[in-house]
Amino acid sequence: MTGSEPISLDAFRKRKQKEKAEKPYPGTLVWLQCPFCESIEYTEIVAPHGRTHKCGTMVKEIEVEVDLRAEYTITQFNLNQIDTLLGKNKESRLRKLISRSLDDALLALKTSEETYISRLHQAAGCQIPVYPGTIEELKDRLPIREKNKLGLYISEFRFEPEKRFEKKDDVDHQD
Ligand SMILES: [Zn+2]
């Protein structure tokens, strides 16, 4: 460094591009639990005054701040992984008889990942881009909680949601 370095427009532009490429999309997702049905689901719709379940019971709500872009990046990777597994399953079925149940399970997972992606876009109010880079490069920066047996990544937000509700009610500790 000479200290008299001229301001490089090119470097400035590159820095701006880099910032844009790494820009998070902060948003809120909500976990809902019906204490009567004991069902748990997520929504992208924040309801500050609460809401009732279809059974008429007031649901418990936990709002979670997330980076929608990070969630989308993880989920998009999962979708690719599911497609790879579906392809492999198809190949092996040509050689030996394999139950359709794996296919069915993978297709169900695919639907749930696609639903999550559409909710993320709705929460952002626009189409979100994935973070550039491979999952190996991004892994440490993404809110990944676990990699499951199928090689799918579970984000912090989607990891064991029922535990979020336990914590709140847990008055006496079992230690
Ligand atoms: Zn209910």
pLDDT of residue 175: 46
The per-residue pLDDT for 4 is 63
Percent of the chain with pLDDT over 90: 70
User: How many domains, in total, are found in the chain?
Assistant: 1
In a domain, 160, yes or no: yes
* Domain annotation covers residue 39: no
Query: Quick one: pLDDT at residue 90?
Result: 79
Residue 125 within any structural domain of the chain = yes
User: Can you give the pLDDT at residue 71?
Assistant: 98
> Is residue 87 a contact partner of residue 80, using CB atoms and an 8 Å limit?
no
Let me know if residue 53 belongs to a domain: no
Give me the domain span that covers residue 126.
Answer: 68-169
**Spacing, Cα 52 to ligand 1 middle (Å):** 8
For residue 95, CA distances in Å to 89, 90, 91, 92 come to 10, 9, 7, 5
The answer to whether residue 92 is domain-embedded is: yes
List the strands of the sheet with 39-43, edge to edge. Answer: 39-43, 26-34, 60-67
- Report how far apart the first and last C-alpha atoms of the chain are (Å, whole number): 58
> Torsion angle, CA of 17/118/149/80, rounded to 10 degrees?
-60
Q: Determine the distance separating the centroid of ligand 1 and the alpha carbon of 44, expressed in angstroms.
A: 19
Ligand 1 mean position to 85 CA, how many Å? 35
Distance (angstroms) between ligand 1 centre and the Cα of 37 equals: 4
Residue 25: inside a domain: no
Q: Cα(51) to centroid of ligand 1, in Å?
A: 11
CA of 60 to the centre of ligand 1 (A): 10
pLDDT tens for 7-26 read 788 888 888 888 888 899 99
Q: In which residue ranges of the chain is pLDDT below 50?
A: 1, 174-175
Ligand 1 geometric centre to CA of 113 (Å) = 24
Q: How far is the CA of 55 from the centre of ligand 1 (A)?
A: 4
Tokens of 59: 């649901």
Query: Is 144 contained in some domain?
Result: yes
pLDDT of residue 100: 76
Query: What pLDDT does 22 receive?
Result: 85
pLDDT of residue 36: 96
Identify the pLDDT of residue 174.
47
Predicted confidence at residue 91, as pLDDT, reads: 78
Q: Is residue 77 part of a domain?
A: yes
